[in-house]
A and B are shown apart, each in its own frame.
Chain A
Amino acid sequence: MKMFDNTGYSSTMDAIIFLSFISIAAIVISPVLIGNLQLIALIERKNQADASAILLTILNAKIDDFKYRFAGSQLSAFDGSSLIKQTSFLFAGRENKHKTYADLCAECLASQFYIYRGKDKFRLNILTLECEAEIKRLISSYLDRQLGDRYSYCFEAKWRPFIGIPLGGEIKVGEDIPSLQSIYVEKATITMPFENVITREYIESVINEELEKIDNDLADYDAGRINRTIFKERVKQRLLNATAIALMKITEKIQEELMKQMLKQNITLAEFEELQVINYELRLREIDKAVKAIDALGEDWEEQLGNYFKAMVKAELNSIQLEIDKIIDKAVDKTVSIADRALALKEQFLDELFTRLSLSKAEVSIAIWDRRI
């Protein structure tokens, strides 16, 4: 008979070695496991995919019946009874069937006529307030239904026809975006119901006279008749003049297109003025102290608006100066021919101008964030 049984010794050692290896492996990969990075990455991907999907679906979804009354808010303020509401639909009702959210948003943006000054905004066309309220209600109800309790959201549609010209339109639905939470954003552009009246050819024809003078400046500079500083100053002045001319023309065109859009809503220009919905001079002076410095805004309301925008455009020219400086810096390289430099300068200038133009498109964005955090 044996004193000690050693048969289990070998398998115990195997088990100890196996457990040791497992422990070492756990120590090696523990930093990764503790961070939960894979899980975080997966959740972020999913949230972003949800944001993209919801924007895509809302823009393409159709509303069966979209109804509002022209000057509906004003009629309700006069008498808010349901009888008046039903009756007023007979003569002021507007109905769109099977239109997409994207189309309705674009039409709503085009009819608002907002003027911006700093953080303030002022709506000139108040006759379509009910249209805006109705589209906001429908968007809100759609997003509540789709996103449920999972996400909070902020839906925005913004139309800024030209950066620097303080007019446009906007629709905002949902909560304010929190500053200390991760936000998943998706954006898209929608087509505005405007004709593409501001083409590159049109702008070129308007500012061509000013740009042609740059050829002479380049020749003078290359021949040594003027030094680098004078050359840069001259070209800068020419480009600023060209910018001012282009901006004035662009503003006029945008104003024309906006008026066309508003008049499409079955209201004549005479009625528009007669209703006195927009007392331009008074309101422009209310929203902007700078306008008080303009002696006479003009008799006619169109003239008043035109003068107001001209004043704004002059103020905005400074913001474009930096970009102009960058363009000019490339033009002082004498190793390239005058013709090539003049052409490059012109092209870059027009590119810069058109980067700021979005007459026919508006930006739609949705930001979602986790509600459960």
Chain B
Amino acid sequence: MFNEAGIITFPLKLLCYLILLSLIFGLITQGMWNARIPMGEIAIEREVSEILTAINSIQTGAPRNLLYSDASEGSKRVLTLNLPSNIAYLSLGSDAEYSQPIVGNLIVYKVQGGEKHFEFLNINLCRASRDEAGMLIPSKNGLLLKSGSYTLTLEFVYDPSSNEKWIIVY
């Protein structure tokens, strides 16, 4: 009446298939775990590319003169950055890992467990600070970002007395 041939082999087959499935899922998980660093780097790279595009295009405009307290504004770009959760840091204008940070024409980023990456610029980049008159000026310090969403404004400024051009970030 009933074909009972599979009764004996079924538990064995189930065990084998479960082992095979676990192996496959294990390998996929391991693969994804290994891929998180390059994936994170790709995500940051995309954001950094956006910053680099803004830095290049902002320089085709006119800068704000830092000597005048009421100077007309310089070229500005507003960016929204979404940094992944596994980012160690994204440092604009400085290398955050040195005790005496190098400030100037570079962007440094690192994913947790990954290597440090550098992007060198043709202009100095730094965080903005306010002087006594409330005007935004270069602070000569970098800006350190961790994971999360940020809205950054980049402004092109110029100091005629030192003949230096900066991009300030706030």
Contacts and interface: CB of A to CB of B under 8 A. Distances in A.
A182 B78 contact: yes
Contacts of A363: 65, 71-72
A94 B46 CA distance: 59
A179 B53 CA distance: 20
A161 B160 CA distance: 15
Contacts of A186: 61-62
A365 B62 contact: yes
Contacts of A41: 53, 56-57
A213 B45 CA distance: 59
Given A35-B50, A352-B161, A183 B73 contact: yes
Contacts of B116: none
A160 interface: yes
Contacts of A156: 72
A48 B61 contact: yes
Contacts of A212: none
Nearest to B42: A31
Contacts of A6: none
A187 B71 CA distance: 11
Contacts of B68: 158, 160, 163
Given A31-B45, A367-B73, A185 B160 contact: no
B31 to A, nearest CB: 14
Q: What band does the interface of chain B fall in when counting residues whose beta carbon is under 8 Å from A?
A: 20 to 34
A180 B153 CA distance: 8
Interface residues of A, number: 33
B53 to A, nearest CB: 5
Tell me the interface secondary structure of chain A in the complex: mixed
A283 to B, nearest CB: 20
B75 A35 contact: no
Interface string A160-186: 100100000000000001011111111
A355 B78 contact: no
Contacts of B53: 37, 40-41, 44
Contacts of A34: 46
Contacts of A187: 62, 72
A288 interface: no
Contacts of A183: 73, 75-76
Nearest to B65: A363
Contact of A367 (B57, B72, B77): B72
Most buried by B among A40, A116, A186: A40
Interface of B: 42-43, 45-46, 49-50, 53-54, 56-57, 60-62, 65, 67-68, 70-78, 151, 153, 156, 160-161
Given A156-B72, A355-B160, A367-B72, 19 more contacts: A31-B42, A31-B45, A35-B46, A35-B49, A35-B50, A37-B49, A41-B57, A45-B60, A48-B61, A160-B68, A180-B151, A180-B153, A183-B76, A185-B61, A185-B73, A185-B74, A185-B76, A185-B156, A187-B62
15 contacts: A35-B49, A37-B53, A41-B57, A48-B57, A158-B72, A163-B68, A180-B78, A181-B78, A183-B76, A185-B62, A185-B75, A186-B61, A363-B65, A365-B62, A367-B73
